[in-house]
Amino acid sequence: MRYDGAGKPVRDALFEGWRAEGRLVPFCPEVAGGLPVPRPPAEIVGGGGAEVLDGTARVVTDTGADVTGAFLRGARLALDTARRAGARVAILKEGSPSCGSHRVHDGTFSGRKVAGDGVTAALLEREGIRVFSEDELPAVAAFLSS
């Protein structure tokens, strides 16, 4: 579910097969970190997810509220959940300030996206969990087969 409460489901045979096999662990780091649904849109200002982890960037809403703490809490909880599940990979939603793995919004709330990753994606990668977007399911299957 998106920040605004709208759904954005993944419709793919690979994904549905993994769901049927019980191999997926649904998790929303933003909600786990304490943010409600719906909530104001948020973007990373001053860098990407790695910079948020390192304390040199922050996550703010379109009204200027700093929600960095919730994003960091959610990322840590996602990592804990992934470790408990024995996950080797994470399939995350592209473009999110938590889950983007290739691109995120540029921090200006103008709709422009830039190359980069979200806070949770950066933490999972840093800790050795391979991150893919929902658009890379064949690559996930290949990685799991290797």
Q: Strand pairing partners for 141?
A: none
**pLDDT value at residue 7:** 73
- pLDDT of 146 higher than 70: yes
- Mean pLDDT to the nearest integer, 22-47: 96
Confidence of residue 53 (pLDDT cuts 50, 70, 90): very high
- pLDDT of 4 higher than 80: no
Using a pLDDT cut of 90, give the percent of the chain over it: 92
Cα separation values, 110 from 1, 42, 104, 114, Å? 22, 12, 12, 12
pTM over 0.85: yes
Return left, alpha or beta for 27; rule: phi > 0 is left, psi -120 to 50 is alpha, else beta: beta
- Mean pLDDT to the nearest integer, 48-59: 98
Confidence of residue 2 (pLDDT cuts 50, 70, 90): confident
Task: List all residues 6 or more positions away from 73 whose beta carbon is below 8 Å from its beta carbon.
Answer: 32, 33, 34
The radius of gyration of the chain's CA atoms, rounded to the nearest angstrom, is: 15
**pLDDT value at residue 119:** 98
DSSP string, 80-110: HHHHHHT-SEEEE-TB-TTT-SSEEE-SSSS
